[in-house]
Structure 1
Amino acid sequence: MSDHLFGILDLGIVVVAVLGLAVWQLVSITREIARDQAAKADSPEGAGHPIGEHRLDDR
């Protein structure tokens, strides 16, 4: 095999690895954000409306 083909093969391996890690990180962070938002919505401290409107004990 020629040096040119080995270079392309090496570049392909690196690109696949980098893209795989990038997609894995994106999925992981998206799941973590969704988990945090669900926990925040389910917490009894949450007002259930936009932040800053009023506190829960202002009734």
Structure 2
Amino acid sequence: MSMACACRHYINLKMKLVRSALASLEMNRVLGACQDLWWTVWATAVMEQYLLVLGQLLIQ
């Protein structure tokens, strides 16, 4: 394997690593956003239940 060929091979490997790292960062960002959304939905549901129970107590 010539030196130029070895260098090209090395650069290609580096680029693959960089691309996969970027892809995994993007995936983490998406997963983080989904998790935030899930917590928001969950907190909203809990608040709704709390307000319903409070409303029932006030009506009685």
With the length of structure 1 as denominator, give the TM-score of the two structures. 0.69
Partner of residue 9, structure 2: 9
- Is 1:41 paired with 2:37? no
Greater share of helix residues, 1 or 2? 2
The structure having more radius of gyration, on CA atoms, is: 2
Segments of 5+ residues of structure 2 without an aligned counterpart are 49-60
Segments of 5+ residues of structure 1 without an aligned counterpart are 47-59
The runs of at least 4 aligned residues of structure 1 exceeding 2 Å deviation read none
Greater RCO, CA 8 A, separation 6+: 1
> % of aligned pairs identical?
9
Count of matched residue pairs = 46
Pairwise CA RMSD of aligned residues? 1.5
